[in-house]
C-alpha cells in the first residue's frame, strides 16, 4: 500500500479521482469541506515532486446532463485557497478536445479541475469507452476517492484497466481509509466496542452480523434501538420502529448471546411529544415510553452505561448518532458518546468514526482531531464492514 509515497511524480501528469461531492448552500458556498481537505496532502505530494495534477470528481446527482448548480466550477476558488494559492485551472468538460488540450498544456506544479463526471450518463454506467477517454488525460491514475470506492463507475474502477501495474495506485486518503478499516476489522485489540446508531435496523443488519464475529461489545442507539426494544416486548410509544424487522432484531440478539457478544441497548431515553425542536421533553425507561411520546435521544443512565463500556475499550468503531443531534434538545447523548470516544482514544484506544452523521457530529462538537481516524466514506465504509468487495479497491489491487 506504500506505492504512492514511494512513487516520484516528476514530469508526470497524475489523473486523480477525488471525492469532491461536498454540500453547497443556495449561494454555492461549501458548507462542509472535509472531503476536499482530506485529499490535499495527496495533491501536494505530486506537485512537490514536480508533477502536475488533473482532478476528476462528481458533484450531486444531475439527472439530465450539465446543470449549473452541479458544476465543479463552484469549488474552484476554495480549492485554490486549500492549495495555498497554487495555479488551478478549470476545464469546462471532462472529456473532449478542450479537456485534452487543457491537460496537455498543464505545467509541473499546476492543477486542472475537470467538470462534473456525472454530466455524462456513461460515468455511472461504468462505460468502458468513456473510461478510456478519461484515461488519455494522464500518465498515472491515482484513486483517492474512498467515498465512491463501492461504486463500479467509469472513473472509480473501470479506468484502472488502462493503466499498467505501476501506473495505478491509491492516494493517501485511500491508503489511510483502508489501513484504518483493516485495523478495526482484522487487527483489532480487545475489548472492541462498535457503536451503531441511526434510524433503521434494515440499514445496519449486515454490519451488525459481521461485527458479531469480531466485537466484544455492540452499543445500539438512535432510532433503531426502539425496534430492538419492541422486539423484547417493550412499549415504545410513537418511537421510530420497523415492525417488519422485529424478528431480525430478536435473531441478532440471540446470535450475540450465542457468540458471547454483549449488546448494549439504552436503558432510558429522552422523549418528546412530537418530532420538533420546540417539543415538550421528558425522560422514561426505553421500554416504557407512553403513547403519544417518542424517544429522540438516549437518556442520562444510558449515557453512563455506554460511556463506561467505551472507556474500557481498546478498539472503537462508531457509525451513527445516538439521537436527533441536529436539534439541541436531543444532542446530549451523541455529545456524551463523542466525549467518551475521545477520552478512550487519549487513553490509548484506536477509534474509527465513519458514516455521514457520526462524522458531522464529531465535527460539530469539535472532536474530529481527538479520535484516531475520521472516515470520508459513508456507504463505502459500511459496505467494507459488511464484508463486501469494493470495486474501487479491487481495480487497483488487480
Contact 126, 100 (CB under 8 A): no
Cis peptide before 84 (omega within 30 of 0): no
H-state helical runs in 83-171: 97-104, 121-125, 128-135
How far apart, in whole angstroms, are the C-alpha atoms of residue 298 and residue 63? 39
Residues 6+ away with beta carbon under 8 Å from 324: 275, 296, 297, 330, 331
Q: What sign does the dihedral 22-23-24-29 (CA atoms) show?
A: negative
Helix/strand/coil for 165: helix
Question: To 5 degrees, how large is the angle CA 58–CA 21–CA 372?
Answer: 130
Residue whose grid cell is 441478532: 252
CA angle at 18 for the pair 180 and 76, rounded to the nearest 5°: 135
| Number of other residues whose CB lies within 10 A of the CB of residue 135 | 20
238 in Cβ contact with 292 (< 8 Å):
yes
- What does the CA dihedral 10, 16, 19, 21 come to, rounded to 10 degrees? 110
Burial pattern 279-306, b for ≥16 Cβ within 10 A else e, equals beeebbbbbebeeebbbbbbbeebbebb
Residue 353 Cα to chain centre, angstroms: 8
Please state, in angstroms and as integers, the Cα–Cα distance from residue 234 to each residue in 252, 265, 305, 369, following that order.
17, 12, 19, 39
Q: Which residue, among 180, 164, 115, 126, has the nearest Cα to 148 in the 3D structure?
A: 126
Q: From edge to edge, which strands make up the β-sheet containing 88-91?
A: 88-91, 111-114, 52-56, 13-17, 140-143, 168-170
Q: Which residues are catalytic?
A: 35, 200, 356, 379
Amino acid at each position: 500500500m506504500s506505492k504512492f509515497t514511494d512513487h516520484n511524480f516528476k514530469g508526470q501528469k497524475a489523473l486523480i479521482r477525488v471525492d469532491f461531492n461536498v454540500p453547497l448552500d443556495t449561494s454555492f458556498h461549501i458548507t462542509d469541506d472535509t472531503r476536499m481537505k482530506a485529499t490535499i496532502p495527496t495533491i501536494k505530494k505530486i506537485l512537490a515532486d514536480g508533477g502536475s495534477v488533473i482532478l476528476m470528481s462528481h458533484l450531486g446527482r444531475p439527472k439530465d446532463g450539465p446543470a449549473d448548480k452541479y458544476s465543479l466550477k463552484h469549488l474552484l476558488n476554495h480549492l485554490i485557497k486549500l492549495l495555498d494559492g497554487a495555479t488551478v485551472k478549470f476545464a469546462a468538460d471532462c472529456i473532449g478536445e478542450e479537456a485534452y488540450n487543457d491537460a496537455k498544456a498543464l505545467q509541473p506544479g499546476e492543477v486542472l479541475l475537470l467538470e462534473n463526471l456525472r454530466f455524462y450518463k456513461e460515468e455511472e454506467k461504468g462505460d468502458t469507452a468513456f473510461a478510456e477517454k478519461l484515461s488519455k488525460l494522464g500518465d498515472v491514475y491515482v484513486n483517492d476517492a474512498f467515498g465512491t470506492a463501492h461504486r463500479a463507475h467509469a472513473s472509480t474502477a473501470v479506468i484502472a484497466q488502462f493503466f499498467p501495474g505501476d501506473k495505478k495506485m491509491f492516494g493517501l486518503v485511500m491508503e489511510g481509509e483502508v489501513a484504518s478499516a483493516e485495523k478495526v476489522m482484522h487487527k483489532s485489540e480487545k475489548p472492541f466496542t462498535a457503536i451503531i446508531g441511526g434510524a433503521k435496523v434494515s440499514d445496519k443488519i449486515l454490519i451488525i452480523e459481521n461485527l458479531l464475529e469480531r466485537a466484544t461489545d455492540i452499543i445500539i442507539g438512535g432510532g433503531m434501538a426502539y425496534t430492538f426494544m419492541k422486539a423484547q416486548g417493550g412499549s415504545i410509544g410513537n418511537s421510530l420502529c420497523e415492525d417488519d424487522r422485529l424478528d431480525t432484531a430478536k435473531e441478532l440478539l440471540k446470535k450475540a448471546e450465542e457468540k458471547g457478544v454483549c449488546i448494549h441497548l439504552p436503558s432510558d431515553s429522552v422523549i418528546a411529544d412530537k418530532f420538533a425542536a420546540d417539543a415538550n421533553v421528558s425522560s422514561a425507561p426505553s421500554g416504557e415510553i407512553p403513547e403519544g411520546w417518542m424517544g429522540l435521544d438516549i437518556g442520562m443512565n444510558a449515557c453512563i452505561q455506554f460511556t463506561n463500556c467505551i472507556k474500557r475499550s481498546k478498539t472503537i468503531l462508531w457509525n451513527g448518532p445516538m439521537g436527533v443531534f441536529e436539534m439541541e434538545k436531543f444532542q446530549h447523548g451523541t455529545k456524551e458518546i463523542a466525549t467518551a470516544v475521545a477520552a478512550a482514544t487519549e487513553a490509548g484506544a484506536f477509534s474509527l468514526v465513519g458514516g455521514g452523521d457520526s462524522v458531522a457530529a464529531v465535527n460539530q462538537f469539535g472532536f474530529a482531531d481527538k479520535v484516531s481516524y475520521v472516515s470520508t466514506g459513508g456507504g463505502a465504509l459500511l459496505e467494507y464492514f459488511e464484508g463486501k468487495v469494493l470495486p474501487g479497491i479491487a481495480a487497483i489491487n488487480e
